[in-house]
């Protein structure tokens, strides 16, 4: 993978709380989310940064990989660990378009990430404050800092448009089946494409 840099004029040496750098890296994560959408997966993308340099990327692909753990964060985490030759990733920051779920949150904690930055909240499975906050639980060790809401509007809009398109396709399919039945055409399960996710 080619190294991706954010120009030095937008990224000071300490990017921990630099809003410009956060937005730039989140836009790269949004690009990864588009890759997931193109494959029919829920559009979530992730980018891992160390020392101001992108070292790994990932996007959702549990359907295509037949792997329930293939969330964007896990895909990127595996790539970064392989690249760095270590299962621990201290000093790394994860940028992800959707709040991590419990599985991803725990993987990030075990990998010793310094920071997690996410765009949209996930009111159904979010584990960084929406449903539970594993990152703030004092019983868990170690901890990493969290920044929420970076490019939130763009991240939320991408997910909303994906699911709107998905619902419209399912309604059109249901309507076609209904119309076929009204015309006396026998419709079998083989004629109907299964819904994705």
Active-site positions?
Answer: 73
DSSP codes joined into one string, 40-70: TS---EEEEEETTEEEEEEE--HHHHT-TT-
Report CA-CA distances (Å) from 41 to 9, 38, 79, 113: 35, 7, 19, 26
Q: DSSP character for 48?
A: E
Dihedral angle computed from the Cα positions of residues 97, 100, 105 and 108, in that order, rounded to the nearest 10 degrees: -10
User: Among 90, 76, 158, 147, which residue's Cα sits nearest to residue 118?
Assistant: 147
Q: Which of 20, 151, 46, 30 lies closest to 105, judged by CA? A: 46
Tell me which residue of 109, 106, 57 sits closest to 79, measured CA to CA: 57
Q: How far apart are the first and last CA of the chain?
A: 30
> In 61-151, which ranges are continuous DSSP H helix?
62-65, 72-84, 102-110
């Amino acid at each position: 993978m080619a190294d991706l840099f954010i120009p030095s004029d937008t990224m000071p040496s300490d990017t921990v709380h630099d809003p410009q750098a956060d937005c730039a890296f989140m836009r790269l994560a949004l690009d990864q989310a588009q890759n997931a959408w193109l494959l029919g997966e829920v559009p979530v993308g992730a980018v891992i940064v160390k020392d101001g340099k992108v070292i790994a990327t990932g996007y959702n692909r549990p359907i295509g990989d037949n792997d329930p753990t293939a969330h964007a964060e896990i895909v990127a985490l595996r790539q970064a660990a392989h690249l760095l030759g270590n299962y621990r990733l201290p000093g790394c920051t994860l940028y992800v378009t959707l709040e991590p779920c419990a599985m991803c949150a725990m993987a990030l904690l075990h990998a010793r990430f310094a920071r997690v930055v996410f765009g949209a909240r996930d009111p159904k499975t979010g584990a960084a404050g929406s449903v539970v906050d594993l990152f703030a639980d004092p019983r868990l060790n170690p901890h990493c800092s969290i920044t929420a809401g970076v490019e939130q509007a763009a991240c939320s809009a991408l997910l909303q448009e994906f699911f709107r398109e998905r619902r419209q396709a399912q309604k059109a399919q249901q309507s076609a089946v209904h119309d076929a039945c009204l015309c006396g055409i026998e419709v079998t399960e083989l004629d109907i494409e299964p819904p994705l996710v």
